[in-house]
Amino acid sequence: MFDKIFSSEALAESIEILKNEFPVALWETFYVTVLATAFAIVLGLPLGVLLVAGEKNGVLPLPKGIMNVLNVIINLLRSVPFLILMILVFPLTRAIIGTTVGTPASIVPLVIASFPFVARLVESSLREVNPNIIEAAQSMGASPFQIIVKVMIPESVPSLISNATIAITTILSYSAMSGIIGGGGLGKIAINYGYYRYKYLVMVFAVILLIVLVQLFQSIGTKLATKSDKRLKSKR
């Protein structure tokens, strides 16, 4: 089987496809991932802040009912497999984008699937902030809002960047999955050629490009996180 996959005709054909389709697919995957991550952060960051600040001993305690509802929503959304969630949110996608197929349409399920995940990541980052520093800010007369904006978030920036990197790589892999229901990008190529048309080599190329993208996001993220952390002794 493998000699057929890697035959010279298959290779020539794959390279042809690579030339014609991959630049667009790469771009689609890139912008879908970045946009979906951006939206997920827009929704997930405030939610994550509420999860920490709204606790009983938090800086802005919220009624227990509200906290329970938040937690249930997040857990519900996180427990639906992405493949199924994509289909479940079709009505919402249609309402927002006007259609359920195509690259822009895949952003909606991506955001819905990933913002609860981002909220949990934000929550874990904010919990790392030394509670004594928050107490110090309270002792200086900081309001709850000031503590969130001037202490909790700035103090956890390195951790937030690391977690944003985790989010973006996860969303990248989700975006590849959206190829199944008509989303664009590398995932679509991998499925259309590799699965439906048995062009295994094309799929391999798509996967290699996905790996390169993940590596790229991860190394940029790690670098930014390290650079932003003023606690590191190497900065002496």
Partner 1 sequence: MIEIKNLTKTFEVSYGTLDALKDVSITINDGEIFGIIGMSGAGKSTLVRCINMLERPTEGTVCIDGCDLGRLSAKELRAKRRNITMIFQGFNLLMQRTCLKNICFPLELDGIPRAEAKKKALELLETVGLPDKANAYPSQLSGGQQQRIAIARALATNPQVLLCDEATSALDPKTTHSILELIKEINRKTGITVIIITHQMSVVEEICTNVAILDNGKVVESGSVSDVFSKPQSDAAKKLVFPEGAEEVFAESGNEPRIRVVFNGAEAANIPLISQMAIDKGIAANILGASTKAIGDRAYGNILLGIPGGKEQVATAIEYLGAIKDITVEEV
- Shortest distance, CB of residue 6 to partner 1, whole angstroms? 52
| Interface residue list for partner 1 (CB under 8 A) | 130, 132-133, 135-143, 146, 150-151, 154-155, 157-158, 228-233, 235-236
Report the residue number, 66 or 149, with the smaller CB distance to partner 1: 149
Half-sphere exposure of 186 (CA within 13 A, CB side): 25
Distance CA 115, CA 46 (A): 10
Distance CA 46, CA 123 (A): 10
Q: Give the helix/strand (H/E) hosting 213.
A: helix 200-228
- Shortest distance, CB of residue 70 to partner 1, whole angstroms? 24
Scored b (16 or more CB within 10 A) or e, 179-209 reads bebebbbbbbbbbbbbeeeebbbbbebbeeb
Report the residue number, 102 or 144, with the smaller CB distance to partner 1: 144
Report the residue number, 183 or 221, with the smaller CB distance to partner 1: 221
Report the residue number, 99 or 130, with the smaller CB distance to partner 1: 130
- Shortest distance, CB of residue 200 to partner 1, whole angstroms? 49
Report the residue number, 19 or 231, with the smaller CB distance to partner 1: 231
Which sign, positive or negative, has the C-alpha torsion 118, 120, 126, 130? negative
Half-sphere exposure of 231 (CA within 13 A, CB side): 9
Contact indicator for 75, 174 with CB cutoff of 8 Å: no
